[in-house]
Amino acid sequence: MRHSTPLYAAPDHGAEQVSEVLPGEPLLVLETRDGWACARTAYDYPGWLPQAALGGEVDPGWLEPSAAEPLEHARTLLGTPYLWGGMTERGIDCSGLVHMSFRATGRLVPRDADLQEDAGVPVDELRPGDLISYGDGATADHVAFWLGEGRILHATGRDGVNRVLEEPEPEELRARRRRVFRL
* Residue 13 is among the residues annotated as catalytic for this protein: no
Q: Are 96 and 111 in contact (CB under 8 A)?
A: yes
Residue of 3, 73, 99, 154 marked active site:
154
Helix (H, G, I), strand (E, B) or coil at 35: coil
d(C-alpha 178, C-alpha 138), whole Å: 10
Give every CB contact of residue 5 below 8 A, 6+ residues apart in sequence: 20, 21, 49, 50, 53
d(C-alpha 26, C-alpha 24), whole Å: 7
Residue of 3, 13, 73, 94 marked active site:
94
* Residue 73 is among the residues annotated as catalytic for this protein: no
* Residue 94 is among the residues annotated as catalytic for this protein: yes
Catalytic residues: 94, 142, 154
